[in-house]
């Protein structure tokens, strides 16, 4: 999927069809996070503070649809946390090969175990610049988490699950965050409520009965350019 920048106007939250907290019971998702070692300083940003802000952005994005995100260090022994959907997400350097060339991240929305989300944090740091690094990293992670929760590689016309983010979307990321369309919020909540949720850290999740909006096993989040503020 290509993220091309243009001068589209930012969409207000209402246009995203956001589901407000309280309309449903809160669903819990545990993200087991792994950060691979590589030269973060080469990107020219303080990565620890960027990552902290990005994780907080993910939490806010999902809070609007009554999904609670809990973060665990994948290297540590996972804690029993009750019924939850467990997803493994890895922040890593982009591969030197042509595989996933130009991608910010990719996910395996139809997989049921293993690392289902790979985020190329070095590319995000390099293309975003200091003012957009944390918001873009948070939105990329949230976008791929949503694909896994939906069991789909389909996209929406507006908001977080849009196939092509534009200049107005990047501006909105800086000031607040992109939201979900009502159909995506409903799909995620229905998927979480209908499939069996495990209490172990490495569950085998049965596929949702909801139809997938695509058949490819991998969803690539690509970009053409991110226009920086001058």
**pLDDT tens across the length of the chain (230 residues):** 333 222 222 222 222 333 333 345 578 899 999 887 656 665 556 788 899 999 999 999 999 999 999 999 866 655 555 567 899 999 988 887 777 877 899 999 999 889 999 999 988 988 888 889 999 999 999 999 999 999 999 999 999 999 889 999 999 999 999 999 999 999 999 988 876 655 333 332 223 333 445 444 566 665 544 444 43
Distance (Å, whole) CA 25 – CA 59: 16
The reply to whether 168 falls in a domain is yes
Q: What is the number of domains present in the chain?
A: 1
Considering the domain boundaries, does residue 9 fall inside one?
Answer: no
The boundaries of the domain holding residue 117 are 19-222
In a domain, 37, yes or no: yes
In-domain check, residue 187: yes
Strand, helix or coil for residue 9: coil
SS3 107: strand
pTM value surpassing 0.85: no
Task: CATH number of the domain at 40, please.
Answer: 3.40.390.10
User: 82-100 as b/e, with b when 16 or more CB fall inside 10 Å?
Assistant: eebbbbbbbbbebeeeeeb
């Amino acid at each position: 999927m290509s993220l091309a920048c243009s001068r589209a106007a930012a969409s207000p939250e209402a246009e995203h069809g956001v589901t407000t907290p309280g309309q449903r019971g809160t669903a819990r998702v545990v993200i087991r996070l792994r950060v691979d070692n590589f030269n973060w300083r080469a990107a020219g940003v303080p990565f620890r503070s960027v990552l902290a802000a990005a994780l907080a952005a993910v939490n806010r994005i999902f809070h609007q649809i009554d999904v609670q995100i809990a973060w665990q260090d994948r290297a540590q022994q996972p804690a029993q946390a009750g019924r939850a959907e467990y997803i493994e997400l890895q922040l890593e350097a982009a591969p030197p090969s042509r595989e996933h060339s130009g991608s910010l991240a990719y996910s395996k929305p139809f997989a049921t175990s293993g690392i289902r989300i790979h985020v190329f944090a070095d590319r995000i740091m390099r293309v975003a610049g200091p003012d957009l690094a944390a918001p873009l990293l948070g939105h990329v992670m949230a976008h791929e988490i949503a694909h896994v929760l939906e069991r789909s590689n389909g996209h929406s016309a507006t908001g977080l699950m849009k196939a092509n983010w534009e200049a107005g979307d990047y501006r909105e990321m800086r000031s607040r965050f992109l939201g979900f369309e009502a159909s995506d919020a409903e799909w995620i909540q229905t998927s979480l409520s209908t499939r069996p949720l495990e209490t172990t850290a490495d569950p085998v999740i049965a596929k949702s009965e909801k139809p997938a909006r695509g058949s490819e096993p991998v969803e690539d989040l690509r970009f053409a350019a991110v226009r920086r503020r001058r």
